Amino acid sequence: MKLSDMLVPTYVQMLKALAGWLAKAEERSETLAPARLAADMFPLSTQIRFACVQAYEGIYRLRGEELPDAVQVLLDEGRAAADRPGSLADAITRIDETVAAVTGLATTIPDIDPQAPIVHALPMGMIFDLTAEQYVRDWALPQFYFHVMTAYAILRSEGVDLGKADYVAHMFAYLRPGTMPAR
CATH classification at residue 49? 1.20.120.450
Please tell me the total count of domains within the chain. Answer: 1
Residue 33 lies in a domain: yes
- Dmax of the chain from CA atoms? 54
Tens of pLDDT, residues 97-117: 999 999 999 888 888 999 999
Residue 183 lies in a domain: no
Phi, psi of 68 (to 5 degrees): -70, 160
Confidence (pLDDT) at 78: 85
In terms of DSSP H, where are the helices of the chain? 3-28, 44-63, 69-79, 88-106, 132-134, 141-157, 164-167
Confidence (pLDDT) at 60: 93
Residue 149 lies in a domain: yes
Query: Which candidate, 19, 22, 39, places its Cα nearest to that of 99?
Result: 19
CB atoms within 10 A of CB 96: 13
Residue 128 lies in a domain: yes
Domain that holds residue 20: 3-174
Residue 182 lies in a domain: no
Q: What are the pLDDT tens digits along the chain (183 aa)?
A: 788 889 999 999 999 999 999 999 987 766 777 889 999 999 999 999 999 999 999 999 999 898 999 898 888 888 887 788 888 889 999 999 999 999 999 888 888 999 999 999 888 899 999 999 999 999 999 999 999 999 999 999 999 999 999 998 888 889 999 898 887
Residue 142 lies in a domain: yes
Rounded CA-CA distance 39/28 in Å is: 23
Residue 57 lies in a domain: yes
Residue 180 lies in a domain: no
Residue 139 and residue 120 in contact, taking contact as beta carbons nearer than 8 Å: yes
Rounded CA-CA distance 117/99 in Å is: 27
Global confidence as pTM: 0.91
